[in-house]
């Protein structure tokens, strides 16, 4: 189960946002026992209209949506990488997540002090980005040191050749960081990625930027800080998604405690809750896709990395299935939706039988055949 952490300076709206996620219907699904696990960790539903359609279609006895774990990580401060504030413990929490939601304050409010004195989102982004990068440099230097000790022994063995290659890559990574870049923005070969992944670098994690606006700015989709913010992100973290959000507005909606009332309020204001998009965007940033298992007993959405082959996907359902996989009976949700029901899909000859090499497509509906 992949985890994402909410990161940002103090008083930017992280907890307000986290609380609204856990109090919303995404974090508090009526039919599910999980949701908030502890005060800093919540398991939230991944909203998906395909799943909703399948549930409506099969009216199964039980439904199991996909979920994502979200952590509220304590506020970062300038100097955290050298131990200021919660410093290192804070950074180790970031190390433990698979991706980062970075909350940036773009609301003015004289009552809510800004730790840096004034509201300046680009400066805030720079503080965080610098702290994470400094920490990565420290890690990579240690890793390089350790590799250097091993390669100094010299020799021509295959193992030594591999170590030397790894050392070269890690050296390249260090230079890249020192030049002021985040690892996620590099163009790495698959071999380099192999050397980079075990380092668990903070700047390698996918990042979704959440721009916290006042309710008014969120609704009118305008805020004076947005243009420089977009420019900065484009320059320093090209391709990372940016989502405007209003933590206060989400909190207000969540506290209504009633989806219908919240929907009514949104309609009146001509807007929508930004939370579903926050979750689905993170899922995409993590390179995740879904397949479904369906029937009148249960409709369930399963999470896989994009590009996963059928046996590994089967292994997500049950560990043993990966080894004992025989075949998968597959058709895509889009075909079912278009043709109306399973019988029509069959009649149209769109049900496929796939073997071990099949790469599961997002939205596949699968029946796995596995045996001893």
281 torsion bin: left (phi>0), alpha (psi -120 to 50), beta (else): alpha
11 is in an annotated binding site: yes
Nearest Cα to 271, choosing from 213, 210, 216? 216
Stretch of 9-17, 36-44, 286-294, 344-352 lying at the interface with ligand GDP (CB under 6 A) = 9-17
Contact call for residue 94 and ligand GDP (CB under 6 A): no
Give the helix/strand (H/E) hosting 325.
strand 325-332
List the beta bridge partners of residue 102: 7, 209
- Positions in 13-42 near ligand GDP (CB under 6 A): 13-16
User: Could you tell me if 332 and 345 are in contact, meaning their C-beta atoms sit under 8 angstroms apart?
Assistant: no
- Distance of closest approach, residue 103 Cβ to ligand GDP, in angstroms: 6
Stretch of 121-129, 168-176, 246-254, 343-351 lying at the interface with ligand GDP (CB under 6 A) = 246-254
Of the candidate residues 2, 3, 11, 316, the single one contacting ligand GDP (CB under 6 A): 11
**Residue 84 to residues 15, 182, 227, Cα–Cα distance (Å):** 21, 22, 31
Give the helix/strand (H/E) hosting 107.
none
- Distance of closest approach, residue 223 Cβ to ligand GDP, in angstroms: 10
Contact call for residue 112 and ligand GDP (CB under 6 A): yes
Rounded Cα distance, 12 and 301, in Å? 34
15 is in an annotated binding site: yes
Stretch of 10-18, 32-40, 128-136, 151-159 lying at the interface with ligand GDP (CB under 6 A) = 10-18
The smaller minimum CB distance to ligand GDP, of residues 19 and 290, is found at 19
User: Could you tell me if 274 and 243 are in contact, meaning their C-beta atoms sit under 8 angstroms apart?
Assistant: yes
Of the candidate residues 69, 214, 272, 293, the single one contacting ligand GDP (CB under 6 A): 214
Contact call for residue 10 and ligand GDP (CB under 6 A): yes
Contact call for residue 77 and ligand GDP (CB under 6 A): no
Contact call for residue 244 and ligand GDP (CB under 6 A): no
Contact call for residue 5 and ligand GDP (CB under 6 A): no
List the beta bridge partners of residue 305: 288
Residue 4's CB is within 10 A of a number of other CB atoms, namely 26
Task: Collapse the DSSP code of 121 into the 3-class scheme (helix H, G, I; strand E, B; otherwise coil) and give the result.
Answer: helix
Ordered DSSP codes for 202-218: GGGS-EEEEEE--HHHH
Stretch of 105-113, 137-145, 155-163, 300-308 lying at the interface with ligand GDP (CB under 6 A) = 105-113
List the beta bridge partners of residue 39: none
The smaller minimum CB distance to ligand GDP, of residues 246 and 332, is found at 246
213 is in an annotated binding site: yes
Binding residues for ATP: 11-16, 213
User: Could you list the residues that contact ligand GDP (CB under 6 A)?
Assistant: 8, 10-16, 75, 107, 109, 112, 212, 214, 246-248
């Amino acid at each position: 189960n992949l985890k994402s952490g909410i990161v940002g300076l103090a008083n930017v709206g992280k907890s307000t946002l986290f609380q609204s996620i856990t109090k919303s219907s995404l974090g508090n699904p009526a039919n599910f026992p999980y949701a908030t696990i502890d005060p800093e960790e919540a398991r939230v539903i991944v909203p998906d209209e395909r799943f909703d359609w399948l549930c409506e279609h099969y009216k199964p006895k039980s439904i199991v949506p996909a979920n994502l774990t979200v952590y509220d990580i304590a506020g970062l401060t300038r100097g955290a990488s050298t131990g200021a504030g919660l410093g290192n413990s804070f950074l180790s929490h970031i190390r433990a997540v698979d991706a980062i939601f970075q909350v940036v304050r773009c609301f003015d409010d004289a009552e809510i002090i800004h730790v840096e004195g004034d509201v300046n989102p680009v400066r805030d982004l720079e503080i965080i980005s610098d702290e994470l990068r400094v920490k990565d440099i420290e890690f990579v230097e240690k890793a390089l040191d350790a590799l250097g000790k091993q390669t100094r022994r010299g020799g021509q063995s295959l193992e030594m050749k591999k170590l030397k290659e790894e050392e070269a890559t890690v050296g390249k990574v260090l230079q890249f960081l020192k030049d002021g870049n985040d690892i996620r923005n590099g163009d790495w070969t698959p071999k380099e990625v192999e050397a980079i992944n075990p380092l668990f670098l903070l700047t390698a994690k996918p990042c979704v930027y959440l721009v916290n606006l006042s309710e008014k700015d969120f609704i009118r989709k305008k805020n004076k800080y947005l243009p420089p913010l977009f420019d900065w992100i484009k320059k320093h973290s090209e391709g990372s998604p940016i989502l405007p959000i209003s933590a206060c507005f989400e909190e207000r909606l969540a506290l209504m405690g009633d989806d219908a009332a919240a929907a009514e309020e949104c309609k009146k204001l001509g807007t929508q809750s930004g939370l579903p998009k926050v979750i689905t965007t993170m899922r995409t940033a993590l390179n995740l896709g879904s397949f479904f298992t369906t029937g009148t007993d249960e409709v369930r959405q399963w999470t896989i990395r994009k590009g996963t082959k059928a046996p590994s996907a089967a292994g997500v359902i049950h560990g043993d299935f990966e080894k004992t996989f025989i075949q998968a009976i597959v058709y895509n949700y889009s075909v079912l939706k278009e043709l109306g029901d399973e019988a029509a899909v069959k009649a149209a000859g769109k049900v496929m039988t796939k073997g071990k090499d099949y790469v599961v497509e997002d939205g596949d509906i699968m029946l796995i055949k596995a045996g001893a």
